[in-house]
Amino acid sequence: MPELPEVETTRRGIAPHCENRTITQVTVRDGRLRWPVPGNLAELIEGSVIHTVDRRAKYLLIGVSSANAAGTLIVHLGMSGSLRVITDQSAPLLHDHVELTLDNGIRLRFNDPRRFGCWLWSETPDQHPLLASLGPEPLAPEFNGRLLYRLSRSKKTPVKPFIMDNHVVVGVGNIYANEALFKAGIHPRRAAGRISLDRYNRLVEAIRETLSAAILMGGTTLRDFVNSDGKPGYFAQSLLVYGRNGEFCRECGHPLKEIRMNQRSTVYCGKCQR
């Protein structure tokens, strides 16, 4: 599943090709995504100019305006989706469901085999139900150890699902939660309410470090968002614990262990993480 680093990589990859370009055609080949693509999407945005390509959590926000209206496309990649800039004449593939053609001839093509993604329209995206109650961005100043400490008091929830809760902080998916907890030396099963402010400060820095490194390496699953040949990101080569069950810890040499938490794989070092 594309996580925050993959979505941010997508945003950075497509923005230079799309910003300040006019949408000349909207093609919806199959609008049956997680939520139906608006039937009047072409009417809403054809002739509009793309002014911004932003990100909120794992949602891409494509801000457009015309002489008559302004609003935002809310795009989610779902479990298997990708959004790519098509600069050649390659024909659409089976699961290329939505496509925007721009005035420079470039096409922004959305591929989603499982159709768990979305293309929605909102004139007030900050108030949209998908975005209104989200927590802070993990790389923003308002995300800090004091916030985690305050929100966690009296909570018996294990710290791993706590930091994966999008109402607490957005974008800390399973892979990156594993990695950040290892770097901070915190056991994933430790109760969130039993972690000190100092350790939360270390955890925040570990989350920021992990996500920043993943973004620079193009994420873990996808890297190339130009044309149709998505290539693997390079962060997978740097993983310290995730996917390494039974291998030796790179810090202490102790064998790593794997457990299931909320039906997700959780790998940790029983010696380094307390």
Annotated binding site for DNA: 95, 114, 155
Three-state helix/strand/coil letters over 178-197:
HHHHHHHCCCCCCEHHHCCH
Task: Please state, in angstroms and rounded to a whole number, the distance separating the CA atoms of residues 225 and 218.
Answer: 10
Pure H helices in the chain? 4-18, 41-45, 145-152, 159-163, 174-184, 197-216
**Token couple for 193:** 């309410």
What are the residue numbers of the active site? 2-3, 58, 264
Q: Classify residue 2 by burial, with Cβ atoms within 10 Å: 0-12, 13-18, 19+.
A: buried
Coil/strand/helix, residue 11: helix
**Token couple for 173:** 């998916």
Strand runs (DSSP E) across the chain, as ranges? 21-28, 49-56, 59-65, 70-76, 82-86, 96-102, 107-111, 118-122, 257-261, 264-268
Phi-psi region of 50 (alpha: psi -120 to 50; beta: other; left: phi over 0): beta
* Partner residues linked to 226 by β-bridges: 85
Binding-site residues from annotation: 95, 114, 155
Task: Please state, in angstroms and rounded to a whole number, the distance separating the CA atoms of residues 122 and 76.
Answer: 14
**Token couple for 256:** 């790593």
